[in-house]
Amino acid sequence: MKTKQFLTYILIAFLFVQSAFGANEKNDPEKDKVLISVLNYMLTRGHFVEKEINDDFSVMVFDNFINRLDPSKRYFTQKDIKHFSKYKYQIDNQIKKSDLSFYHLVYDTFLDKIKSAKKYYGEILKQPFNFNKKEIIDVNFDNVSFAENENELVDYWRKQLKLQTLSRIQEMQELQKEKGKKDASYKTKDFRELEKEARQDVLKNMNELYLRIEELEHEDWFSTFLNSLVEGFDPHTAYMAPNIKERFDQDMSGKLEGIGARLQKKGIHTHVIELVSGGPAWKQGELEPGDIILKVAQGDKEPLDIVGMRLDDAIKFIKGKKETEVRLTVKKKIDGSIKIISIIRDVVELEETFVKSTIVEKNGKKYGLIDLPRFYIDFDDASRRDSAKDMELEIERLKKEGVEGLLIDLRNNGGGSLKTAIEIAGLFIEEGPVVQVKYRGEKPVVRSDKDKKVQWEGSLVILVNELSASASEIFAAAMQDYNRAVIMGGNQTFGKGTVQQVLPINQFFPNYKKELGFLKMTIQKFYRINGGSTQIEGVYSDIAMPTRYSYMKFGERDMEGALVWDKVPMARYTQTNTYSNFSDVVNNSKMRIAINPNFQLVNEYAKWLKKEQDNTTFSLNYKEYVKDITAKENYTKRFQSVFDYNSNLKFESPNYELALLAKNNEVKEKRNRWHKNLSKDMYVAEAVNVLSQLQLKTPIELVKN
């Protein structure tokens, strides 16, 4: 059924369900029970996959929740698991009855275990480790059974802490060597001193970790349980607490309202890590990275002490609507002085999430490279920038620069708005279908570009990798199916061919006053216009280049519970067949890659990384550990030439951006770093080679075609 029909149906149904709980405040159900009840109803009736809540589902939730709470086998013993197992095949029935007995049993036990954990690691780290003892640890904890008893549990702790200490000692020794090379008078510490210092560092890190754990509230842990449940439908369905939804919206739109500072909790204090270039704090000029925020006041109201406060809670007080004042009491890093800084909040645009472009010259011709990190959009304000508007503007600017081809970089682009992906595809074709989407039990619907305007008619290369996902795959697949672009990169993209919608849970329970959060639920699947799904398979590159991910478990195909690949009928479309020498250019590139020593090295490196990924055991004997680490470091030196590669291509900002760079040194420095990285990028270099060799068909050839 269509989403609107589903929403209406479920809303009416829950108005009746509410009467069973009682509609007034006095008889309101507990929030947790309401959430379980509503989520169960939403998932079983609205998710793309019809899944029965049965004993198999119960076992899956049982395993998921325990593994989420204790992934490193640090807390629960086999006795605990046996105690929990009385509910192993009953969770499905409990869900249907909004019975949370399993959750409370595991959660209450877990809280007790957290209290014990501080005693365990504190006692273990008081004494030096015996690094002469020959023993190993397997850090793939799926291979490790839960401890038989408390003694074995403490030994699990000992091995994990010993590995952390050993790793820290080795890092400190390497640092000493580097300092000794630079300064002959530098006095090195002996092993005993380093071991003690390393244990103190590990203890400090553990204390900070458990300080953050202790700040977590029941809502956080219950969210963990809810996600153990909803992910049983597929890996991309998730429960989102209200604060998580805020971050999701920020990620999608590339903007937030606040002061424009990145914050981090260190111990009991909130530290400023970075200022967003162009943001209110950056413009005001007094707040600096390294400063500690002690108090927060809204305008002229009394300041609130945030020392010891959870970071999420502190951020709520610091953020706020545009044009409102926040007064921060700050301890300055530079001299330790206390200062009150007034900042007027504003909309902060996160530049690194937006489209940017550069120009490169090869064989006397200019080519444009556009970096598209995400398909962003602001669903609440259509007047604001989105990736389709920005892409159209960037292409127009590059056309004025006289570029003869475009390279669009979608590497690491995890997707975003389907709407903007369709609109961006429309910039390169006259009109026609771009993607097919299908609801559960219905025929696929073709989504098309209906604008006959073509923003770019020239040569087009799209660069992808194994992290290009979702909307990235839709755009790349459409350009491949139309034969409009050459797709280059890893062998295949991520393979996320599902569509999620974020649904506010409160709208299904309108009389309930507490905030229930949101459900991000898979409601559709993507299909290419050629009929095949992008699910699991992703998009196979026309020109595959070895990457470090080539042999590793990576992508949707390696996710537990991922939906399967399937196909639907092909949509009606006509290939553009833009190029007269497409096959020749592709074959020539493949030949260059095959004999290129750098790509050969990357392929060898990828095989080694796969081997290392599969090898999850470490020696806890000092000599053997150092020997293994040294052997790995020596082996990786053979790949150094890959990292030292330089294409000698020169990248320059387009003319329109030069005025901004002259005024903003921070943006200028970011562009300089980007350009330097591009010049050392062998994938970009080969993509520019391909772009420079593509020949467009003449009007006569296109007519014949």
Stronger pLDDT, 487 or 290, i.e. the higher one: 487
Tell whether the model's pLDDT for residue 29 goes beyond 70.
Answer: no
Q: What is the dihedral sign for C-alpha 432, 438, 444, 445?
A: negative
Tell whether the model's pLDDT for residue 25 goes beyond 70.
Answer: no
Instruction: Tell me the average pLDDT across 553-561.
Output: 88
Q: Do domains 255-349 and 354-498+521-704 have the same CATH topology?
A: no
Mean pLDDT of the chain: 87
Stronger pLDDT, 146 or 18, i.e. the higher one: 146
User: Within a 13 Å sphere around the CA of 176, how many CA atoms are in the beta-carbon half?
Assistant: 13
pLDDT at 465: 94
Catalytically active residues are: 470, 481, 496
pLDDT at 666: 76
444: amino acid identity, one letter: P
Cβ neighbors of 77 (< 8 A, separation 6 or more) are 146, 147, 148, 149, 150, 152, 153
pLDDT at 278: 63
305 burial via Cβ count (<10 Å: 0-12, 13-18, 19+): exposed
Q: Give the pLDDT band of residue 573 (cuts 50, 70, 90).
A: very high
Tell whether the model's pLDDT for residue 253 goes beyond 90.
Answer: no
Indicate the pairing of strand 498-504 with strand 325-331: unpaired
pLDDT at 194: 93
Stronger pLDDT, 300 or 495, i.e. the higher one: 495
User: Within a 13 Å sphere around the CA of 353, how many CA atoms are in the beta-carbon half?
Assistant: 23
CATH superfamily, domain at 354-498+521-704: 2-enoyl-CoA Hydratase; Chain A, domain 1 (3.90.226.10)
pLDDT at 249: 57
pLDDT at 522: 95
Instruction: Tell me the average pLDDT across 245-255.
Output: 55
Distance linking the first and last C-alpha atoms of the chain: 41
Percent of the chain's residues with pLDDT above 70: 91
Tell whether the model's pLDDT for residue 170 goes beyond 70.
Answer: yes
pLDDT at 643: 80
Tell whether the model's pLDDT for residue 115 goes beyond 80.
Answer: yes
pTM for the model stands at 0.81
3 state SS of 491: coil
pLDDT at 265: 76
Least confident of 190-199, 309-318, 359-368, 588-597: 309-318
| Residues paired with residue 524 on neighbouring β-strands, in sequence order | 439, 499
Q: Give the pLDDT band of residue 255 (cuts 50, 70, 90).
A: low
Tell whether the model's pLDDT for residue 304 goes beyond 70.
Answer: yes
pLDDT at 256: 64
pLDDT at 670: 84
Phi, psi for residue 664 in degrees, rounded to 5: -120, 100
Least confident of 266-280, 463-477, 517-531: 266-280
Question: Domain map of the chain by residue range?
Answer: 54-228, 255-349, 354-498+521-704
Tell whether the model's pLDDT for residue 126 goes beyond 50.
Answer: yes
Instruction: Tell me the average pLDDT across 325-351.
Output: 81
Tell whether the model's pLDDT for residue 581 goes beyond 80.
Answer: yes
CATH number for the domain running over 255-349:
2.30.42.10
Percent of the chain's residues with pLDDT above 90: 57
Quote the CA–CA distance of 153 and 71 in Å, as a whole number.
14
For 444-492, the pLDDT digits (tens) are 999 999 999 999 999 999 999 999 999 999 999 999 999 999 999 999 9
User: Within a 13 Å sphere around the CA of 533, how many CA atoms are in the beta-carbon half?
Assistant: 22
For 194-241, the pLDDT digits (tens) are 999 999 999 988 888 888 788 788 888 999 999 999 999 999 999 988
pLDDT at 701: 60
pLDDT at 28: 36
For 589-621, the pLDDT digits (tens) are 999 999 999 999 999 999 998 888 888 899 999
Q: Where are the alpha helices (DSSP H) in 482-596?
A: 582-595
Phi, psi for residue 652 in degrees, rounded to 5: -135, 145
State the DSSP string of 280-293: HHHHH----TT-EE
> Can you say whether residue 489 is alpha, beta or left, with left for phi > 0 and alpha for psi between -120 and 50 degrees?
left
CB atoms within 10 A of CB 34: 23
Instruction: Tell me the average pLDDT across 38-42.
Output: 89
What single-letter DSSP state applies at residue 542? Answer: S
